[in-house]
Amino acid sequence: MALVITDETPPAGYERLVHVEDVESGLDAFICIHSTACGPAAGGCRMWNYASLDDARRDVLRLAEGMTCKNAIADLGLGGGKSVIIGNSRTDKSEALFRAFGRAVDSLGGLYYTAEDVGITPDDMAIVASETPYAVGLNSGAHASGDPSPFTAEGVFQCLRVGAEQVFGSADLTGKRVLVQGLGHVGMALAEKLHAAGAVLIVSDLNQNAVKRAQTDLGAEICSPEEVFSQQMDIFAPCALGGILTAETVARLTAKVVCGAANNQLATPDIAGHLRARGISYLPDYVVNGGGIISVAGEIHRRGENYRRERLAGIAERIRRILALSQSSGKTTTEVASDMVADILAQASSRRVLA
């Protein structure tokens, strides 16, 4: 049976939602394009064992919207999109599956660029790229950017230091208790940077091999996922999946700064107000974790290392500006960031109409 690509009716404000199936390879995926106002949509592909089709659909919609915000505020000339593959990334991968996914991406004719996200490696993306030129984050090629995780981790680390400076009066992390939730590629890279900076590490992950490595190599304390919000900490760095900050978890949170790589950390938008009311400085995730897409954007636009370096340095300054505006206006940091994105998208839409 051939690859089946079905256009679904996207929610208001979205441009396209595609369900992709390939029975032979076992591919079951969604590709979502939220906005192309600033340019072709770009966003990683996540492989996750979703409980249902509806769960996968909800996730790709949230993630695609987040990529619009992330790409716009980082001034990358890219719109927002995302894809998710339903499956276990440890047991369900195959060359046929990624080839089928590549053909699905290619069918969109350049409206969407894909790259690595949770559960996907550069080797996987290389297979996707054998079927389409719209797969990036590759290890080889004239403008290859490789795994975006180190860039994401560096951006988060620099923003975390800005947050510490604002709250504690110094960017020096020596002795600060930092809990890193999630030790995937980004979380582990961030933990290594924090350890080198003198922070006291607490880590949590379901992957016991990763936890043991952090304990052995980085001297990290370990807590179970259920104990995360009962820990004493100065800084919380969520680097796993989203939706972990709820009214209940925020009420228990002891950290004074939240800065992590996870997407969609707030379960609902009003949680930003809960954090502010408790005196917790929240650094908006789609600003903080933009390092990975900056790296990928360099590949898409065929630019050199300077392009990545300059834009990566801009992440921390952007967070500094957001924190200052939040303090002076009384708005939450998410409201300030959302206002910035809205202005950027409005200007981009106007230019597109006039063109």
Residues making up the annotated binding site for NAD(+) are 182-187
Helix/strand/coil (H/E/C) assignment for every residue in the chain: CCCEEEEECCCCCCCEEEEEEECCCCEEEEEEEEECCCCCEECCEEEECCCCHHHHHHHHHHHHHHHHHHHHHCCCCCEEEEEEEECCCCCCCCHHHHHHHHHHHHCCCCCEEECECCCCCHHHHHHHHCCCCCECCCCCCCCCCCCCHHHHHHHHHHHHHHHHHHHHCCCCCCCCEEEEECCCHHHHHHHHHHHHCCCEEEEECCCHHHHHHHHHHHCCEECCHHHHHHCCCCEEEECCCCCCECHHHHHHCCCCEECCCCCCCECCCCHHHHHHHCCCEECCHHHHCCHHHHHHHHHHCCCCHHHHHHHHHHHHHHHHHHHHHHHHHCCCHHHHHHHHHHHHHHHHHHHHHHC
**Annotation: binding site:** 182-187
Residues designated as active site: 82
